[in-house]
Amino acid sequence: MGAATSPNGTLRDDHTQILTSLSKRKRNALVHTYKNGFSGFAARLTKEEAKSMYQTDLEIDSSPSSDSDSSSQESDTIIGILDTGIWPESPSFTDSGMGPIPSRWNGTCMEGQDFTSSHCNRKLIGARYYQDPGGGISFGNLQKTPIYPLIYGLDAKRNSHFDEIDDDDARNCKLNALDDDKVRGKIVVCEHIENQYSDNEKLDGIISQGGIGVILVDDDLRFISSTYGSSPMSVITRSDFPEPDIAAPGVNILAAWRGNDTSEALKGQAPPLFYVLSGTSMSCPHVSGIAAAVKSKFPTWGPSAIKSAIMTTATQTNNMKGPITTDLGAVATPYDYGAGEVTTTNRCNRVVPDGFTCPEGLSADLISNMNYPSIAISGFDGKESKMAIRTVTNVGVDDETLYTATVDVPTGLKVEVMPEKLQFTKSNKKLGYGVIFTSTTSSQKEDLFGSITWTNGKYKVRTPFVVTS
């Protein structure tokens, strides 16, 4: 049990009262108390004792913060999850206290193996499964816009009873390694590590199987996108985008568990309903919840704007006010945490990059100039400067506001932001700026990390950058 610390001492007083009540109810039940990051405690209680404490001691003030500006629309957010399955019987999916299903929901509760429509409720409002593991899911309207699903070469691997298809062959989209049905109508992402076949040969092979186009991942080969007739192909490098975009809590998370998994059960006991897990599956719910909160606050925002708001307001410090570190204790870089770790402490009125489309005109630096909330400069040899261009939109409550840029510059690099100030007005909410990167050393031997932070004294918006040779 716990809550954030309060400067007026109210929560600390409540904490003391609860602990006093706990000691009176059950001696030696207290396991540990927490004072630094938040005010709370851990205790061993039966289900009945915990319920009794909740009803009598913990019904303090659970009303939303005044900063949330809550409304009915904020409870009308639907979160979709793509995963390998779900255990609907878990207490985590109980709909007790949930409001009605949003009236705009028009999905279905699809029945499957050990899953019936009765498993859906006001929290788990729908479910659907797909039998083809290589199938792509596109949320675009294919009748109106030329949007096609992507599929990774390994996911399109051909199953053969006569010869064994190697995973590396599928990743590299070698001829006869992919399944026609899985490739048909899709753009295929192929690695280009093994150069047994040329890029043109790979494209011809994909097209012959009914594919739409190819994206090659190659750190050596680089050229601008080409249509190759009616079939598009482009090449990206692993350093074209800093990875990951964002980090979120995902280590030692208490989560729902399969109720029929006896492999994790203690001897003589039933399988656990909850289990301590780590990984991206644990981080995903944190990010999803924050994305849903932003969407409920700004229902007209699309995925790119929400992603930008999350990335540009991330933190680069841990809960001890120190730098984020890796498992080995080394100071982490954007290659470990992207823009930083998600935070819910900041308000959602942000300067958000808008559009996220490629600029007109083609060049080898096209990817660096995508309107993305981070900047990646690859192939930087230091002989000439490189520029990245971004467009930002003021969505704050103040129509007239001035944002000023500050730059965290790594050693060996000169970074100029032009202009250094952005003056937003009621009639001009969208402005652009350029960032010029110039080397100050004869040779760059390592990747360089930095950031650009825009602030108007009230809000801060941070864009990380990485420069690689």
Tokens of 142: 């294919």
377-395 CB burial, b ≥16 within 10 A, e <16: bbbbebeeebebbbebbbb
43 CB-contact burial (10 Å; exposed 0-12 / middle 13-18 / buried 19+): buried
Model confidence at 365, pLDDT cuts 50, 70, 90, reads low
C-alpha 388/C-alpha 375 separation (Å) is: 7
C-alpha 413/C-alpha 399 separation (Å) is: 35
Q: How far apart are the first and last CA of the chain?
A: 49
Residue 41 contacts residue 58 (beta carbons within 8 Å): no
Give Cβ neighbours of residue 351 (< 8 Å, ≥ 6 apart). 312, 392, 393, 394, 395, 396, 403, 422, 454, 459, 461
Residue 177 contacts residue 157 (beta carbons within 8 Å): yes
pLDDT at 438: 93
Nearest to 101, CA basis, from 81, 82, 121, 119: 121
Q: pLDDT digit string (tens) for 17-51?
A: 665 666 565 666 777 777 655 567 777 778 777 77
In the predicted model, what is the mean pLDDT of residues 157-180?
86
At CA 82, angle to CA 81 and CA 85, rounded to 5?
95
Does residue 404 have a pLDDT over 90?
Answer: yes
**C-beta pairs of 144-148 under 8 Å, 24+ apart in sequence:** 148/185, 148/186, 148/187, 148/212, 148/213
C-alpha 237/C-alpha 216 separation (Å) is: 8
Q: Could you tell me which residue, 427 or 141, shows the higher pLDDT?
A: 427
CATH code for the structural domain at 364-467: 2.60.40.2310
Mean residue pLDDT of the chain comes to: 77
Residue 176 contacts residue 169 (beta carbons within 8 Å): no
At CA 312, angle to CA 307 and CA 314, rounded to 5?
95
> Which segment of 91-105, 185-199, 213-227, 374-388 scores lowest on mean pLDDT?
213-227
pTM assigned to the model: 0.57
Q: In the chain, list all ranges with CATH 2.60.40.2310.
A: 364-467
Q: pLDDT digit string (tens) for 5-21?
A: 444 444 444 555 665 66
Q: What percent of the chain has pLDDT over 90?
A: 19
Give Cβ neighbours of residue 228 (< 8 Å, ≥ 6 apart). 200, 203
At CA 350, angle to CA 368 and CA 404, rounded to 5?
70
Give Cβ neighbours of residue 345 (< 8 Å, ≥ 6 apart). none
Q: pLDDT digit string (tens) for 331-344?
A: 888 888 888 888 86
Model confidence at 415, pLDDT cuts 50, 70, 90, reads very high
In the block, tokens 């040899």 appear at 381
At CA 202, angle to CA 200 and CA 208, rounded to 5?
100
DSSP H helix total and E strand total for the chain: 8, 18
Q: Give residue 254's identity as a one-letter amino acid code.
A: L
